Structure formats: C-alpha cells, structure tokens
Amino acid sequence: MAMERVLNLGDLPVGHAAKVQAGGEPICLVRLDEATVKAVHDTCSHQQYSLSEGWVEGNTIECNLHGSAFDLDTGHPESLPAVKPIPVYACEVRDGEVWVDEADQRNDAPVPRH
C-alpha cells in the first residue's frame, strides 16, 4: 500500500495526539513540533486502550489508562505495566497534510487484534 492522507496538519496542535484510520488500522498521530508528526498503532499493548487519549511528553505517548509510555521512534514501552512494543508506521508531512503508510511498519511489533 502507499502513503494515505489522513489529516490536515493544522488540525493537530503541537504536543497533542489524534486518532485516525489508515489502511483500516487505528493510528495514533503525535505532533512533536511545527513539522514533525509520528505515527504508531493507537492500541496500547497492555490492555488494548486507545493511546490517542493519552499524554504526549517529549518523544513518548503515555496511555492514560495505566500509565505505560511508549517511544514514538521504536514503539518500545518505557514504563510498566506494558512490556510489549507497539507498531510504528511511516509518516510524512507534505504541503500541510499528514500522510501515513500502515503497510510500512518500522519495527517488528505485532499488530494488535481484538
């Protein structure tokens, strides 16, 4: 699959997260600065809670259910109770739009299935 436009950059404030769909998968977008957006699977690996409901701190997203924080580059958990990584996806900002390719996973974390 190719890059898919998922959001206007202006709809995602710096330091916040948003849930979008790409290739049928729920994706958590995190805007780190004026031009940098990261994309990870929206499902926490601990108890399948939506990560886009969490908090952004530096280069991490913290699940607001139990507090597990995940590195946005590697998907690895940086705090318990999560011990498994989350998928990280290719993401680009082009001409004020955010593009994600859910088929271009940047780590080997299993894709969550309910």
SS3 for the chain is: CCCEEEEEHHHCCCCCEEEEEECCEEEEEEECCCCCEEEEECECCCCCCEHHHCEEECCEEECCCCCCEEECCCCCECCCCCCCCCCEEEEEEECCEEEEEEEEECCCCCCCCC
- On whether residue 101 sits in a domain, the answer given is yes
- In this prediction, residue 1 carries a pLDDT of 62
- On whether residue 19 sits in a domain, the answer given is yes
pLDDT of the chain, 114 residues: tens digit per residue: 699 999 999 999 999 999 999 999 999 999 999 999 999 999 999 999 999 999 999 999 999 999 999 999 999 999 999 999 999 999 999 999 999 999 999 999 999 885
Q: What is the number of domains present in the chain?
A: 1
CATH number at residue 34: 2.102.10.10
- In this prediction, residue 62 carries a pLDDT of 98
- On whether residue 12 sits in a domain, the answer given is yes
- On whether residue 112 sits in a domain, the answer given is no
- On whether residue 26 sits in a domain, the answer given is yes
Domain span at 69: 4-105
